[in-house]
Chain A
Amino acid sequence: MARKCPEYIENLSDYLDGGIDPELCAEIEAHLGECNNCRIMVDTLRQTVTLCREGKPETLPASLEKKLTGLLRERWRQKFGK
């Protein structure tokens, strides 16, 4: 079964997203039941995406925020004359 792994991996993105043909989905799941490496790959890929989604977003620096207001107002004045 190991030699078929690359073919399954090619379809993992669709499989993880749930947007895959049901027949291929069943085939992949059967393979995951037999192939420990592919099972680990899928489990840890899912965790990778979850960890990245849970990451706290960076906040806008206060210095930039202050600078932006002045810059935007100036550009607005140039465009609209007010």
Chain B
Amino acid sequence: MDEKQLVAKAQAGDFEAFAKLIEANKQKVYAFVRRLTANTEDAEDILQDSFLKAIDKIDQFRGEASFGTWLSSIALNEARVLYARKKQFDLKPIEDYLPGAGSHGDDQQDSIRLFDWQDPQSQLESDELRRTVNGAVDKLPYKYREVFVLRYIEELSVKEVARLTKQTVASTKSRILRAPLALRDMLSSTFEERYGKKVS
């Protein structure tokens, strides 16, 4: 039975059909929510509430996107409600990630070099690398982690990210760039400790 048929049966009140739809999507939605929330407790609460909301709203599902995408959009709204109540710090402006940021002369700018890390896989064990990368993503403030996950993990277009996060395209683009710039900064610090001195 394909997804369309399962949805029709679920909308007619067949729990087993709904359970199959959840079964097919729960792992992917959980991975998405866990990335968004950066902690297991919030991820579990949001997943649970999202699936319960999906039951409440099952009649409203029109099949314009896949059932999994619909579940993820419910989960995204739940996460946005939760994190809107939490205080968040802002990342630095884009230009502050450049070497020499805050200085006023070219001499000062030229005296600072970025750390050039290459092939981190060969430097760190895969488990440690995974922990390091996931830990860095988890440290991003929610509003940046959200756009980063949507754009680079879920691979949505910038316009789609803007629509889902209710931001202008320009503001979304800025957040999308600042997120990996901050991550790059955090990873550079870790790799620099491992590799030794800054390249200059």
Contacts and interface: CB of A to CB of B under 8 A. Distances in A.
B15 A71 contact: no
B171 to A, nearest CB: 12
A52 B153 contact: yes
Contact of A2 (B13, B100, B129, B180): B100
Contacts of B129: 51
Contact of A71 (B52, B109, B115, B137): B52
Contact of A51 (B26, B48, B100, B120): B120
Would you call the interface of chain B mostly helix, strand, loop, or mixed?
A: helix
Contact of A9 (B35, B95, B109): B95
A6 B187 contact: no
B152 A76 contact: no
A53 interface: yes
Given A2-B109, A45-B184, A51 B117 contact: no
A57 B180 CA distance: 18
Contacts, number: 128
Interface in A3-32: 3, 5-6, 9-10, 12-14, 17, 19
Interface string B99-122: 110000010011001111110100
B177 A13 contact: yes
Interface of B: 13, 15, 18-19, 22, 26-27, 30-31, 34-35, 40, 43-44, 47-48, 51-52, 55-56, 94-95, 97-100, 106, 109-110, 113-118, 120, 129-130, 133-134, 137, 148, 152-153, 158, 173, 176-177, 180-181, 183-184, 187-188
29 contacts: A2-B100, A3-B106, A3-B109, A5-B98, A6-B94, A6-B98, A9-B97, A14-B173, A19-B158, A37-B113, A40-B116, A45-B180, A48-B187, A49-B180, A51-B129, A52-B152, A53-B152, A53-B153, A59-B27, A59-B30, A61-B44, A64-B48, A68-B22, A68-B47, A68-B51, A71-B48, A72-B19, A72-B51, A80-B13
Interface of A: 2-3, 5-6, 9-10, 12-14, 17, 19, 36-37, 40-41, 43-45, 47-49, 51-53, 55-61, 64-65, 67-69, 71-73, 75-76, 79-80, 82
